[in-house]
Structure formats: structure tokens, C-alpha cells
């Protein structure tokens, strides 16, 4: 049994509205912790949350109210009893026992009380703001508590802001160890780097922080593999999906079959989106994705539309190239060979029904009036591209984010890499019993699991 360790008590402090709660959400992997808003003083009381591994709590985090009257408090402390001029901690204690701590500086008193009880603190800075005297004053007040501080330069992902100026200002007060960590879009490996920097400023908690770094890396790897597994399951379901279509079907009946298959594939992608969001602990109501309706989990762009494929850098196949008519995105198989029937099906719904009837008669002698309807490779590649990009974005997204997550449409290089998957799709094509979209014929056999493992390996490259 592992030795029980004393958890690091870590306060999160800073001026009001600098992103303290957002930072905590990201560190906690909890988009519901506290309240995030653009208005000042959103956090009014100290909030507590713990993080650790499966065995024990390793760090206790404290979200504190934002400092608002740092300059006034700094002036007040400068005029206080000279007895504590060179004893910052005692001076802070004297202030906390005064009436000012209950009235004029009640908000600041909550922060200082928690800081005195903590082992260290993260001092959150919004680098979009210049280094103003009020910030320097509040930092001077915090430093009088005598606790180790690790400055966190927030909101650095979208703009450099005043980051350099802040680094110089911190160095002037002997705070040389800091970290640039955007709570909305944390850098890859940023969480481990933040915890590593903490070891430099607070002594005696290396073991706790090392265990937390190790645990979080294991979580990251596990999420990535599970995400790739979910995507491979989706691709297998769609590639293996087959419908027998009679050559005797009239135009209306054929259109119903095609629409049904489109709905099946679209719904299956929606479930994969929801599974990925849940895997990374994002709720549907707090993450908005461009071109994706989170309330339903459906993409705004039609999966079977040629323009959608073009936007994601995927070249349309013969069937998809016929346009957005019902039937585009499908192909016909006879004895396992493609007939490139997507064009025919698109034309059929467009009014050339005689061509379908004539074509159907030719097939009737070979397959007794039935042929296999499948989803074309470009559609499956589009599914792969969209889900892989979503997985990548979620892995880099901070839980403090409230903005829209944008998915780039420039995927030409990724699509070239995924073109290698086409040879693997053939394995699913030959085994329609592997698709969960046809529950009446589904068989969860060992060969299916082996095939999915191969897909995951290909997606990992």
C-alpha cells in the first residue's frame, strides 16, 4: 500500500477577472467548476477542489476572489504600525484582525487568509493588460505573506500582449520563475511543465507533484487511445455497412432506402462526437464547435455533399462527384467489384429512371435482382478527417474555454495520409456482419477486434 502523502495546499490568486477560475477548470479537467464570466468579482468566496491519482489526493486547490483594491490596501499597510515594517506575515495578520478586513478590504482579506494557510500560490496574470501600479501593489501585498508564488501568464495563446513587460516586472521583485500557460488553449505538455515549475518554487512536495505528473500523462495517453478506438469503431461500422437493393425498386422506394442509410451514417457520426466529448469531460452545453450543432451533435455541413468533401480537402469519388442529389456518396457492388453506381443513382433521382431500370435488368441475371449498396470511400475518409481533427482539438482544449472551437478545413495533407486507409476498408467490406448499424446481422467476433486494432494503428501514424 502506497505511503499516504500530505497534499500540497495551493491557492490561486490574482486581480479580478484574470482567469483564475478558468485556470482551475483546466487543471481540474472540470468545465463546471465555479463560474466563469467577463464581469469582475465573479468568484466571491474561496472554493476548494482536490486532484490526485487513484490512491490519494496530491494537491488541494483553492479558488480565491479577485483582488480589487490592491493599491488602497498597499497604502494602508504602508501606514500601519512600524513594528511590523520588516515582518510581512505579522503585518498581514495584524491587518486581518482589524475592522478594515471586515469592511473596506473584505474581499482582499479572504485572499490573504487563504494564502497564509496555503503552502504556495499560483499568481494569475492577464498578459493582455499592461503592467499597472495597481497590479504591482497587489503583488507586493501578496508577497508579504511570505509564501512561494509561481506567476502564471494567462491568455498567451492568441496574443503576446504584454508578456515581456510582465516578465521584466516580475524579475524586478525577484520572481524569476514563471510560466506562460493559457487556461483556454494550454500548450501541449503545459500542465506537466506547470507542475514541474512548482517544484522549483515550493519545497518538500516533489513526490506529490511527480506522482501527479505521471498520473496525468497516463490519463492523456489513455484518452488518446480510447478516442482513436472510438473513431476506428465508427469507420468500421460505416465501411462494413451494406444494404441489399432490388433492381425492381421504383424511384420512390430507392430514394427511401438511400435516405435511410444516410440517416444511419449521420446518426452514427453524431454518437461518435458525443463519445469524444464525454471522453474529454466536456459537456454538450459548454462546448460549441464551428459547423457542429452541439445540441444534436450533428454537423451543419451535409456529410454526403460534394462541397463538404472539398472543404476538408478530400477528392470526391465517382459517386460523390455526381452532386448532392440523394444517392451521391454510395456505390454498388457486384461480386465484390465496384460498378461506380453513384453517378447512376444520382442521375436516377434526378429523373433518368429509365437508365436505372435498364441497368437493373442487366444485373438481375447476375444477382437475381439484388445488389449491394455501400458507402463510398471518400465519405468514410471525411468521417475520419473530421473525427481525428475533433480529437486533436479536444486534447488541446482547456476546460476553462467558453469560446467556439474552430475546426480547420485545410486537411489536404492529412487526407493524403488517410488515403492509406482505403486498402483497410476492403476488410470491412467483406464482412458486413461487423457493422453495428445492421443489428440483426451484427457479430462481434475476434476478427472484428483485430481489424479495429489495425485501424487504430494506422490512425496513430
- Of the two residues 245 and 197, the one the predictor is more confident about is 197
> In this structure, are 174 and 321 located in the same domain?
no
Could you say which of 143, 169, 204 is where a domain stops? 204
> In this structure, are 291 and 384 located in the same domain?
yes
Could you say which of 204, 238, 263 is where a domain stops? 204
- Residue 212, in any domain of the structure: no
Sheet strands side by side (includes 47-52): 47-52, 57-63, 8-14, 120-126, 149-154, 179-180
- Residue 210, in any domain of the structure: no
Structure-block grid coordinates of residue 297: 451533435
pLDDT per residue as tens digits for the range 350-374 = 433 444 444 444 444 344 556 678 8
* Residue 12 Cα to chain centre, angstroms: 23
| Cα distances (Å, whole numbers) of residue 107 to 49, 130, 421 | 20, 23, 58
- Residue 144, in any domain of the structure: yes
* Domain extent at residue 360: 226-460
> In this structure, are 366 and 258 located in the same domain?
yes
- Residue 278, in any domain of the structure: yes
Could you say which of 204, 237, 252 is where a domain stops? 204
> In this structure, are 194 and 231 located in the same domain?
no
> In this structure, are 278 and 316 located in the same domain?
yes
Q: What is the CATH number of the domain that holds 77?
A: 3.40.50.300
| Cα distances (Å, whole numbers) of residue 275 to 231, 290, 387 | 10, 18, 11
> In this structure, are 184 and 275 located in the same domain?
no
Q: What is the pLDDT of residue 324?
A: 34
pLDDT per residue as tens digits for the range 3-29 = 789 999 999 999 998 989 889 988 988
- Residue 288, in any domain of the structure: yes
Q: What is the pLDDT of residue 197?
A: 95
**How many structural domains comprise the chain?**
2
pLDDT per residue as tens digits for the range 77-106 = 887 666 777 788 889 999 999 999 999 999
DSSP assigned state of 205: -
Of 126-140, 173-187, 202-216, the range with the lowest mean pLDDT is 173-187
Task: Give pTM, 2 decimals.
Answer: 0.81
pLDDT surpassing 80 at residue 216: yes
pLDDT surpassing 70 at residue 41: no
> In this structure, are 283 and 173 located in the same domain?
no
- Residue 218, in any domain of the structure: no
- Residue 3, in any domain of the structure: no
pLDDT per residue as tens digits for the range 284-314 = 665 566 667 666 666 677 777 666 766 666 6
Determine what percent of the chain is predicted with pLDDT higher than 90.
43
> In this structure, are 333 and 268 located in the same domain?
yes
> In this structure, are 375 and 234 located in the same domain?
yes
pLDDT per residue as tens digits for the range 328-352 = 566 655 455 454 444 444 444 443 3
Structure-block grid coordinates of residue 414: 492529412
> In this structure, are 115 and 238 located in the same domain?
no
- Residue 246, in any domain of the structure: yes
Q: What is the pLDDT of residue 323?
A: 33
> In this structure, are 325 and 448 located in the same domain?
yes
> In this structure, are 234 and 167 located in the same domain?
no
Residues 6+ apart with CB under 8 A from 145: 88, 89, 92, 112, 115, 116
DSSP H helices in 40-132: 70-78, 88-96, 106-117
Q: What is the pLDDT of residue 344?
A: 43
Sheet strands side by side (includes 326-334): 243-246, 370-375, 326-334, 337-338
Closest CA to 45 of 64, 68, 60: 64
Helices (H) and strands (E) in the chain, counts: 16, 12
Amino acid at each position: 500500500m502506497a505511503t499516504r502523502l500530505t497534499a500540497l495546499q495551493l491557492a490561486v490568486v490574482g486581480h479580478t477577472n484574470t482567469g483564475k477560475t478558468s485556470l482551475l477548470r483546466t487543471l481540474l479537467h472540470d468545465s463546471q467548476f465555479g463560474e466563469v464570466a467577463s464581469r469582475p468579482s465573479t468568484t466571491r468566496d474561496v472554493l476548494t477542489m482536490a486532484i490526485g491519482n487513484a490512491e490519494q489526493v496530491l494537491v488541494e486547490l483553492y479558488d480565491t476572489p479577485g483582488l480589487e483594491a490592491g493599491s488602497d490596501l498597499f497604502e494602508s499597510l504602508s501606514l500601519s504600525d512600524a513594528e511590523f515594517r520588516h515582518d510581512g506575515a505579522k503585518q498581514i495578520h495584524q491587518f486581518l484582525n482589524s475592522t478594515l478586513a471586515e469592511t473596506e478590504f473584505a474581499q482582499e482579506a479572504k485572499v490573504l487568509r487563504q494564502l497564509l494557510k496555503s503552502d504556495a500560490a499560483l499568481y494569475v496574470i492577464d498578459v493582455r493588460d499592461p503592467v499597472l501600479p495597481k497590479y504591482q501593489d497587489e503583488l507586493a501585498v501578496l508577497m508579504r505573506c511570505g509564501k512561494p508564488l509561481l506567476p502564471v501568464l494567462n491568455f498567451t495563446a492568441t496574443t503576446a500582449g504584454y508578456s515581456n513587460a510582465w516578465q521584466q516586472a516580475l524579475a524586478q521583485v525577484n520572481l524569476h520563475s514563471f510560466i506562460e500557460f493559457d487556461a483556454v488553449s494550454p500548450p501541449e505538455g503545459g500542465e506537466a511543465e506547470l507542475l514541474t515549475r512548482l517544484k522549483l518554487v515550493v519545497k518538500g512536495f516533489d513526490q506529490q507533484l511527480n506522482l501527479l505528473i505521471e498520473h496525468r500523462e497516463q490519463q492523456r495517453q489513455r484518452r488518446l487511445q480510447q478516442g482513436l478506438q472510438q473513431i476506428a469503431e465508427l469507420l468500421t461500422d460505416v465501411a462494413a455497412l451494406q444494404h441489399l437493393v432490388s433492381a425492381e425498386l421504383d424511384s420512390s422506394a430507392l430514394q427511401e432506402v438511400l435516405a435511410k442509410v444516410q440517416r444511419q451514417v449521420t446518426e452514427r457520426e453524431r454518437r461518435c462526437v458525443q463519445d469524444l466529448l464525454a471522453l474529454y469531460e466536456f459537456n454538450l452545453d459548454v462546448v460549441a464547435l464551428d459547423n457542429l450543432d452541439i445540441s444534436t451533435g450533428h454537423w451543419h455541413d451535409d456529410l454526403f455533399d460534394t462541397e463538404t468533401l472539398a472543404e476538408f480537402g478530400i477528392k470526391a469519388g465517382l459517386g460523390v462527384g455526381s452532386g448532392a442529389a440523394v444517392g451521391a456518396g454510395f456505390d454498388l457492388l457486384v461480386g465484390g467489384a465496384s460498378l461506380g453506381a453513384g453517378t447512376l443513382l444520382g442521375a436516377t433521382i434526378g429523373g433518368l429512371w429509365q437508365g436505372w431500370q435498364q441497368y437493373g435488368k442487366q444485373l438481375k441475371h447476375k444477382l437475381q435482382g439484388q445488389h449491394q449498396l455501400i458507402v463510398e470511400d471518400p465519405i468514410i475518409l471525411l468521417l475520419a478527417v473530421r473525427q481525428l481533427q475533433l480529437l486533436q482539438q479536444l486534447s488541446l482544449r482547456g476546460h476553462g474555454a467558453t469560446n467556439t472551437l474552430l475546426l480547420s478545413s485545410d486537411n489536404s495533407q492529412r487526407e493524403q495520409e488517410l488515403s492509406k486507409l482505403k486498402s483497410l476498408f476492403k476488410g470491412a467490406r467483406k464482412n458486413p456482419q461487423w457493422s453495428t448499424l445492421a443489428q440483426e446481422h451484427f457479430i462481434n467476433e475476434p476478427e472484428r477486434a483485430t481489424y479495429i486494432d489495425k485501424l487504430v494503428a494506422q490512425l496513430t501514424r
